[in-house]
Amino acid sequence: MNNNNYLCVIPARMGSTRLKHKNLRELIPGLSLIDQAISTAKDFDICVSTDQPELMKLSDDVLVVERPKNISDSKSQITPSIKHALIEIENRLSKKYDFVIVLMPSIAARSNGILKKMIKILEERKNISTIMTAAICPPWIWKISNNNNAQTTWFPNQPKISQDLPVYLAEHAAIIINKRQVVIDNKKWAFPLCLYELPSWSVGLDIDDETDLNHAKLFFPSMQDVLEDWTGKSHMIDTISTIKND
């Protein structure tokens, strides 16, 4: 593994409306959400993309890119900011990367150990365009709408017992690694895609508001070592379609 081929981009927009300056909030004393992402990416080139660089107090080896206002509001997709950061850093350092790692600070279910295992898969299977984490989830999903209706993954059939059902994974992008061209094409991921399993409880470290953060503070300290040693199954995906009733 040549770490020089990888750029890690940590998107850290500061305008969260549900949790002010969310990315700077601490998971444990002395470890903010951005710090946790940086520790995951140790040994790689790291760039923080933010709309408020003046709030960043980072070590000198972490590069900072100021994100333009037109891709920094609450409705902006994340992909343009990743592409912007990649091009900015490549121009600044006069080099090109082969792969881009994306670590969203507010999804803290990850570790350096998981990242390196995912890179090993990526380098063994040269055809993969993207490898991304996804959390194991129960197969009996209820989607609740605003008009008192619901949709499920099984109705009108009788729900099967779990051992008779395929694996269900929830997109939980704690770590996304893309080939450079995927990012240049402004895509979040591309086929062939590999999904790397995280445990079902990892969704408890997806932080959107104060309640999520308080839960994560209780949860994260006991899960750090588990995440560092975690080995998940991987699933190669070449095509996708809408879920049919199981």
Within 13 Å of residue 120, how many CA atoms lie on the same side as its CB? 11
Q: How far apart are CA 32 and CA 57, in angstroms?
A: 11
How many Å separate Cα 39 from the centre of its chain?
A: 14
User: What does each C-alpha distance from 124 to 19, 91, 167, 177, 230 come to in angstroms?
Assistant: 40, 29, 23, 14, 19
E strand segments, the chain: 6-11, 26-28, 31-32, 45-50, 62-66, 99-102, 130-136, 142-144, 150-152, 169-179, 193-198, 234-237
Question: What percent of the chain shows pLDDT beyond 90?
Answer: 73
The pair of three-digit structure tokens given for residue 175, joined into one six-digit string: 């770590």
pLDDT, tens digit (0-9, with 9 covering 90-100), for 60-90: 999 999 999 898 887 888 999 999 999 999 9
C-alpha Rg value of the chain to the nearest Å: 19
How many Å separate Cα 27 from the centre of its chain?
A: 17
How many Å separate Cα 90 from the centre of its chain?
A: 22
Query: How many CB atoms neighbour CB 139 within 10 A?
Result: 16
Return per-residue pLDDT of the chain as tens, 246 residues.
Answer: 788 899 999 999 887 777 888 999 999 999 999 999 999 999 999 999 998 989 888 999 999 999 998 988 878 889 999 999 999 999 999 999 999 999 999 999 999 999 999 999 999 999 999 999 999 998 888 889 888 899 888 888 888 888 888 899 999 899 999 999 999 999 999 999 999 999 999 999 999 999 999 999 999 999 999 999 999 999 999 999 987 766
pTM, entire model: 0.94
DSSP notation for 159-221: PPPGGGS---EEEEEEEEEEEHHHHHTT-S--SSEEEEEE-GGGGGGB--SHHHHHHHHHHHH
The pair of three-digit structure tokens given for residue 219, joined into one six-digit string: 């949860």
